[in-house]
Amino acid sequence: MNRSIHWLLLYFLVIQAATAQTRTGVLAEPVYNYDEAKVGDLTLPDLLRTTAGKQVTSRADWAARRAELLQLFAENVYGKTPAQPVRLQFQTTSIQQNALNGLAIRKQVSIVFTDYPKLPPIEVLIYVPKNAAKPAPVFMGLNFCGNHCVSPEADIPLSTRWVDNAIGEVSVNNRATEKSRGMQERRWPIDTILKRGYALVTAYYGDIEPDHKTGWRSGIRSVLGDTARYNGPQDSQWGAIGAWAWGMSRIMDYIQTDPALDARRVVLMGHSRIGKAAVWAGVQDERIAAVISNESGEGGAALSRRWYGETVERVNTSFPHWFTGRYKTFNQRVADLPVDQHELLALVAPRPLYVASADGDQWSDPKGEFMGALYAEPAYKLYGKTGLGVTTFPGLNQSVGQTVRYHNRTGKHDVTNYDWAQYLRFADELVR
């Protein structure tokens, strides 16, 4: 065969093979799975057996196992949260006595990092119900696009921090525009929360670290932790999720100083990636009274070993900055992970936990989230509590459980009024 024809043929064969592989997802993003038949058998690590093989039978044993699990999650999944104390200043930048037509007192507080003047502060937005018992129990949660986009009030300053352009016209050159005002108001029914007697405390997650691959350079990880080894293949440095969780604890630090807020009754709510961070914050920071995971999915409430929806490999590939370097070494061998997510949820025990899914959000794996909540049960039992207390996956829009609750609502990946109705009831019954 003529030499050039030979090369041409070879070239076409290679291109063909490559595109075929891309079609099957081998060369492109790692695959995900929506076929229950392909999930296979599930063998989970035993929550109540230590690495050394000791069976946990008492609360004292559990205290040691709990410490071990915290360390395993830090080393393998989220990275180690720097333990060093950071000096903070809480600067109240505005108080509005008659916010939301007189329903609330609104405060804006900057959490300033005294030792790191180059780091911008965390801007906290606080609504305290006027006609309610003081101090008020609190719903706390980070938001996705700036305080101005969750409040209906037009005088909340636009966030000046990095925002994702993918959100649409609402941002230009990674900065929020006026068009983003109120954009996610629907996800935060502030009036309803206030009328039920709760305060709301929120801040933009990007104030702690902008959510992109090099966002760490302008966030808290630029000054805390060993960033020089960032994302190395074996490192246990904290990722963005660890940083956001750390930020939630700094907001807790503030809440403890505000006499209008009841720091012993703080319910931490997080959606999606912020839900992953909320669970990680809740397990590390026992000042947090209860945790709500709204569709946190992979790396949140969903079991990692259950090969359904998003996978460990997929989340690590799409968002390499979220988790620790070592987590990526489990991409192709999830069964070797020394932990699974039911063990993370168990670390919330004995505190109340709510895990919520949406039927239209199969990416987060509703069944895997339910199973995560279900298999946390033995930890609650050690405290004489019933966790979920049911073993069958509930029908749509049915809130089940006791100290641990679960629902799978109709609709897409979102936070809806249905979700909030369940969270408010959960808080009324278990936190007040």
Q: Among all residues, which ones are annotated catalytic?
A: 272, 413
Closer residue to ligand GCU, CB minimum distance, 110 or 408: 408
By the rule CB under 6 A, 273 interacts with ligand GCU: yes
Considering only 262, 310, 377, 419, the residue that binds ligand GCU (CB under 6 A) is 310
By the rule CB under 6 A, 297 interacts with ligand GCU: yes
* Ranges within 349-408 binding ligand GCU (CB under 6 A): 363
Tell me, by CB under 6 A, how many residues bind ligand GCU.
8
Structure-token pair, residue 264: 């012993």
Structure-token pair, residue 52: 């050394």
C-beta of 363: minimal distance to ligand GCU in Å?
A: 6
User: Do strands 290-294 and 261-271 pair parallel, antiparallel, or not at all (unpaired)?
Assistant: parallel
C-beta of 413: minimal distance to ligand GCU in Å?
A: 6
Full 3-state SS string of 150-189 = CCCCCCCCCCCCECCHHHCCCEECCEECHHHCCCCHHHCC
d(CA 323, CA 129): 37
Residues 296, 261: contact at Cβ < 8 Å?
A: no
Closer residue to ligand GCU, CB minimum distance, 147 or 272: 272
Residues 308, 367: contact at Cβ < 8 Å?
A: yes
C-beta of 192: minimal distance to ligand GCU in Å?
A: 23
| Phi-psi sector, 152: left (phi>0), alpha (psi -120 to 50), beta | alpha
What is the DSSP annotation of 237-268? B--HHHHHHHHHHHHHHHHTT-TTEEEEEEEE
Considering only 209, 285, 298, 369, the residue that binds ligand GCU (CB under 6 A) is 298
Closer residue to ligand GCU, CB minimum distance, 282 or 297: 297
Closer residue to ligand GCU, CB minimum distance, 144 or 254: 144
Closer residue to ligand GCU, CB minimum distance, 49 or 213: 213
By the rule CB under 6 A, 209 interacts with ligand GCU: no
The pattern of x and - marking residues 313 through 352 that bind ligand GCU according to CB under 6 A reads: --x--x----------------------------------
Considering only 81, 151, 180, 272, the residue that binds ligand GCU (CB under 6 A) is 272
Q: Cα-atom radius of gyration of the chain, to the nearest Å?
A: 23
C-beta of 297: minimal distance to ligand GCU in Å?
A: 5
Give the phi and the psi of residue 9 in degrees, each rounded to 5. -60, -45
Stretch that binds ligand GCU, among 152-160, 172-180, 240-248, 310-318 (CB under 6 A): 310-318
Count Cβ atoms within 10 A of the Cβ of residue 295 and give its class: 0-12 exposed, 13-18 middle, 19 or more buried.
buried
CA angle at 56 for the pair 52 and 60, rounded to the nearest 5°: 110
C-beta of 327: minimal distance to ligand GCU in Å?
A: 13
Q: What residues line the site for ligand GCU (CB under 6 A)? A: 272-273, 297-298, 310, 315, 318, 363
